[in-house]
Amino acid sequence: MKYDVCVFGGCSLDRIFYQKIDGTYNEQADTIAPGGKGANQAVAASKAGAKTTIITKIGKDDIGRDILSNLSFYNVNISNVEEIDGLDNDYSDIYINIKDKDNDIKRYSGAINSFTPDMIDNYRDVLLSSKIIVCQLKIPKEVTIKLINFCHEHKKTLILTPCRPEKLSVTDQDNLDLIDKIGIITCNKKECQTIFNSDNIEECVKKYPNKLIVTLGSEGLIYHNGKRFVRMPAIETDVVDTTGAGDTLNGNLSAYLAKGMDLKHALRKAMYASAMKLMMKTAQAGMPYLSDLETFIQNKRNKHFEYRDELNFITEQIKYAYESVKYSVYSVKSKKDHTLVTDMDLEIEKYLINKIKEKYPNDNFVTEETYSNNELQNRSWIIDPIDGTIHFIKKDGYFGIQLAFYDESEIKFSVIYLPEKNELFYCGKGLGTFVNNEKILPTDDSPIEQSIVEFSGSINKKYEVKKMCFDKLMNNEGLKVADVLFINCASLAYANLVMKRTDALIISTTDPWDVMPGEFMTKECDYKVIYLDADKSVRLVTKSQEIIDMLLPKE
């Protein structure tokens, strides 16, 4: 069986005490719940949508059965859990203070001390069939050493959380070799100082780019990407219980990396999950499911956005619009301008207009099929129900649904939905651009020889201008771009650009429903828009000065 995430670590029972107003604690625990760093990280990964298993040992008693049942409840695979007669289970007494809801933990170790190096051999196939492996330093060090060497030898990504940082201290020269072999180390500031025997956190992370990630509490986190420091601010939230917040971050990080997300975006999403956990009591029960996290992220990011209600409303409706008709049988007609339209175009447009009218009855519409002659005025919805109709008819997946919202003489937000890619983009003025609720963060530009330029709009429109651009891009005596592509779907072209799947766009369509949603997104992402002809019907959208220099006439 293949897994997204395999956690190698311990389980325990948490006895939780909440401080009273008078500063004292009850003699009996206020809450008893399954916990332990290994189990916590496994549950976090599973709730984040990753297919997760855990390699662990537990005592075969009532506590062990509760731990096992709880893992199953959260859909963690338990086929690699060893139940052993007579083995004491781990437990922790966790004291939550009133002031900052931080915890003081007294740990009592049992089963976790029984881990042995031969477990690496016994579960070799499980480890090799997992995309990401997660471990801690609570297990005996000789077991951790063998696991690190195994993962390094077999090129498996290992995420280590050093909750016993002294075991990895660089004062032991052998640990330097171990650190080099670990894929990712996530630690807090104190753990980092202990491991590297230094108070200079920046110096530490710079020495281990894309490996060492240091959380800084209310200051967020920091790491180095090989070129510069990456600082991510903390997510503001109401803190109820800090227990398991770090495990939530690591479990979510492993889940998103397993899904193919890059480190920067995976970390940011994991930080939102950790913030959401802080709002809830206990570790595992407080960890968010992916669907709840998506809603939390969107509401948190849009909290101060003036058009939050409109944006949240339409990002839901645009998906429903497609789902309501995607299995329908449709006919194809030719319009007066000889372009094609299907019944699906009309049905999706009708659905969106009716839903908007129900909620915002006084709003105006500028749409491709029904209101194409309307002029923009305050509170206007610009809608293209199926962008790339010919591709929709051909069933090749290169089509999208897009819209923009216009008010007070400017676009306030836009949305692009690519059903076949399962990608929903939205961008608000000053908010940034997001895909599936993950913020698209800045990335370095590609060198010219690795750049891809996309052409969009009918190939017959402004053919001579496009041919001239093609010749300059591909037949230049000096540097050339890596490739060009042409798909007549503006929504996909703009989405490709903001996702950095391409590096420049040359587009010849000028209809507002074609260009306004995507151009707004690219401008908010700091792309330049340059017109390539006198009547401004062909535009270049890019960040690359090299591509601009190639295409613009020399003075």
- Mean pLDDT calculated for residue range 77-81: 96
Same domain, 413 and 455: no
For residue 465, the 8-state DSSP code is H
Same domain, 196 and 316: no
- Mean pLDDT calculated for residue range 61-71: 92
Q: Of the residues 296, 316, 345, which one is the last residue of a structural domain? A: 296
Quick one: pLDDT at residue 444? 72
- Mean pLDDT calculated for residue range 470-494: 85
10 Å CB burial of residue 12 (0-12, 13-18, 19+) is buried
**Residue of 277, 301, 313, 299 whose CA lies nearest to 48:** 277
247 is catalytic: yes
Same domain, 270 and 223: yes
To the nearest whole percent, how much of the chain has pLDDT over 70? 99
Of 76-90, 333-347, 509-523, the least confident: 333-347
Of 190-199, 376-385, 454-463, 535-544, the least confident: 454-463
Question: Does residue 22 fall inside a structural domain?
Answer: no
Q: Of the residues 296, 331, 359, which one is the last residue of a structural domain? A: 296
Question: Does residue 23 fall inside a structural domain?
Answer: no
CATH number, domain with residue 320: 3.30.540.10
Same domain, 275 and 178: yes
CATH number, domain with residue 509: 3.40.190.80
CATH number, domain with residue 133: 3.40.1190.20
Question: Does residue 290 fall inside a structural domain?
Answer: yes
Same domain, 196 and 290: yes
Q: How far apart are CA 115 and CA 137, in angstroms?
A: 12
For residue 447, the 8-state DSSP code is P
Same domain, 145 and 248: yes
Supply the range of the domain harboring residue 532.
Answer: 448-551
Same domain, 271 and 406: no
Q: How confident is the model at residue 211 (pLDDT cuts 50, 70, 90)?
A: very high
Same domain, 149 and 182: yes
Of 175-184, 269-278, 319-328, the least confident: 319-328
pLDDT of residue 555 exceeding 60: no
Q: In total, how many domains does the chain have?
A: 3
Same domain, 185 and 49: yes
Q: How confident is the model at residue 516 (pLDDT cuts 50, 70, 90)?
A: very high
pLDDT of residue 476 exceeding 70: no
Quick one: pLDDT at residue 553? 66
pLDDT of residue 353 exceeding 60: yes
pLDDT of residue 498 exceeding 60: yes
Same domain, 423 and 361: yes
- HEC string of 388-420 equals CHHHHHHCCCCCEEEEEEEECCEEEEEEEEEHH
Mean pLDDT of the chain: 91
Question: Does residue 214 fall inside a structural domain?
Answer: yes
Query: E strands of 200-260, at which residues?
Result: 212-215, 221-224, 229-232
**Tens digits of per-residue pLDDT, 365-420?**
999 999 999 999 989 999 999 999 888 888 888 999 999 999 999 999 999 999 99
Q: Of the residues 392, 414, 435, which one is the last residue of a structural domain? A: 435
**Residue of 423, 431, 437 whose CA lies nearest to 405:** 431
Quick one: pLDDT at residue 478? 67
Among the options 90, 241, 247, 514, which is catalytic? Answer: 247
Same domain, 400 and 454: no
pLDDT of residue 454 exceeding 80: yes
| Residue whose token pair is 């008010």 | 407
- Mean pLDDT calculated for residue range 61-88: 94
pLDDT of residue 446 exceeding 90: no
pLDDT of residue 160 exceeding 80: yes
Quick one: pLDDT at residue 471? 87
